[in-house]
Amino acid sequence: MKIVVTGGTGFIGSHTVVELQEAGYEVVIVDNLVNSTIESLDGIEKITGIRPAFEKLDLTDKERTFDFFKSYQGIEAIIHFAALKAVGESVFKPLEYYSNNLNSLMNVLAAMKEFKVDSLVFSSSCTVYGQADTLPVTEKTPRKKAESPYGNTKAICEDILADYSRAEQQLKLIALRYFNPIGAHPTAHIGELPNGVPNNLIPYLTQTVAGIRSQLSVYGNDYNTPDGTAIRDYIDVVDLAKAHVVAIRRLIENKNKQNLEIFNIGTGGGVSVLQLVNTFEKATGKKVNHQIVGRRAGDIEKVWADTTLANKELGWKAEVSLEETLRNAWRWQEKLQK
């Protein structure tokens, strides 16, 4: 069964391709490589023994997107990861974010209609909840206005899916709201490749330990949390990848209950920045040079997922421990140094 994975050479995409291939699916990757490298294919091949088909394609180009669908017959489903994702950058380049993230989704949806592909899994984000009034957040927790253009693109993409699913009853859509994806494949053949100075906590932390950065800034210790630092729900990237496989299977087997379903994909538990630093030190035996600095603009205080719905409906739950995830992230960083 052929699955198209857009953004399949990226961090979450490449791990998902591995899990799909290990589950027996045939994968075609589409990526424009603006934020990933073709070498991901080598890593995927080393792990699974299969080199997935690859098409370099910018999905904002509608004509080329349609040509791609025309040339690949028998596509069963699509997982749409391809998007720009840097929260800070999106504040300075809002038009690029809206144009890229919205047009690529709309072109994929239009091509699905034209070429009669009904199933799609979409990468959404817990960013759509903003700072929720009650925790943990369930899928019914009201969404709040996003803090960044990037976050807003995720909310608008969800709205596009909702409207389109009402107009096109044959569609089967699942949006997965990821919490904070971290880690790397345990083989260290694939992992996260941040562009330039990392914005996210884990790549910054591992680069600090590797000596590339002098110290990790911990943004704020005056939050209303037990140790004062902000709380997130850190989900292992392989666990997250597996959620996509079960979502695809649900759609292909027609087990979905509505034609747009939304699931939180997190561990169900919150971890503070300092807890994470301490866990990393314990898990790897490495010291993390860090210093408390002021809050980062736009950060929320705390969020973690209620994953009951994904547990019940998808039969999915996070399995990898935080220690293991952090060891994998470190192993990947060490490999990048070699």
Tokens read off for 215: 């110290």
Q: Specify burial of residue 322 (Cβ count, 10 A radius: 0-12, 13-18, 19+).
A: buried
Q: How far is CA 311 from the centre of its chain?
A: 18
Binding site for ligand UFG (CB under 6 A): 85, 87, 125-127, 151, 180, 199-201, 204, 216-219, 230, 232, 273, 296, 299
- Exactly one of 97, 129, 150, 223 is catalytic; name it: 150
The nearer residue to ligand UFG, 7 or 52, going by C-beta atoms, is 7
150 is known as an active-site residue: yes
Q: Give me the sign of the Cα torsion angle 19, 119, 94, 134.
A: negative
Closest CA to 77 of 141, 125, 6, 152: 6
Helix axes 40-48, 11-22, angle to 10 degrees: 30
- We find the least distance from the C-beta atom of residue 154 to ligand UFG, in angstroms, to be 7
- We find the least distance from the C-beta atom of residue 66 to ligand UFG, in angstroms, to be 29
Closest CA to 265 of 241, 247, 240: 240
* 201, 230 contact by CB (below 8 A): no
Helix axes 94-114, 62-71, angle to 10 degrees: 40
- We find the least distance from the C-beta atom of residue 206 to ligand UFG, in angstroms, to be 11
- We find the least distance from the C-beta atom of residue 127 to ligand UFG, in angstroms, to be 3
Strands 271-272 and 231-232: antiparallel
The nearer residue to ligand UFG, 184 or 230, going by C-beta atoms, is 230
The nearer residue to ligand UFG, 200 or 256, going by C-beta atoms, is 200
Q: Give the DSSP H/E element, type plus range, for residue 175.
A: strand 172-178
- We find the least distance from the C-beta atom of residue 125 to ligand UFG, in angstroms, to be 4
Q: Which amino acid is at 282?
A: K
Give the C-alpha separation, 46 to 237, whole Å.
18
- We find the least distance from the C-beta atom of residue 53 to ligand UFG, in angstroms, to be 28
Q: Which residues are catalytic?
A: 150
